């Protein structure tokens, strides 16, 4: 299962920077590392992976309309 680790890929970073530069009418190139710093997210992801942590995913597909079962699933997360 794939999960979001809080890091945005370089292509998305560059695209976002280009949009911001266009809106602000900035002509100078902005280095990615000046706008984004994902060291904290990468370190946290690495630490969690080394600890064997796996995210719990509450599936919304085929939702359970039984409130008791749904609330117990949420309680397991908390």
In a domain, 20, yes or no: yes
Is this prediction's pTM over 0.85? no
Q: Degrees (nearest 5) of the Cα angle 35, 9, 41? A: 70
Distance CA(68)–CA(55), nearest Å, equals 23
User: Does residue 71 surpass a pLDDT of 60?
Assistant: no
Q: Dump pLDDT digits (tens) for 6-63.
A: 888 999 999 999 999 999 999 999 899 999 999 999 999 999 999 998 877 666 555 5
* Total number of domains constituting the chain: 1
* Structural domain for 33, as ranges: 10-77
In a domain, 5, yes or no: no
Q: Degrees (nearest 5) of the Cα angle 5, 7, 10? A: 145
Residue 55 confidence (pLDDT): 75
Residue-by-residue DSSP string for 30-41: --HHHH---HHH
């Amino acid at each position: 299962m794939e999960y979001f680790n809080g890091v945005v890929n370089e292509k998305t970073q560059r695209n976002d920077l280009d949009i911001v530069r266009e809106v602000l009418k900035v002509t100078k190139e902005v280095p990615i590392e000046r706008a984004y710093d994902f060291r904290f997210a990468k370190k946290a992801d690495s630490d969690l992976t080394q600890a064997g942590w796996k995210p719990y995913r509450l599936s919304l597909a085929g939702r359970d309309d039984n409130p008791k079962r749904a609330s117990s699933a949420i309680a397991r997360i908390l």
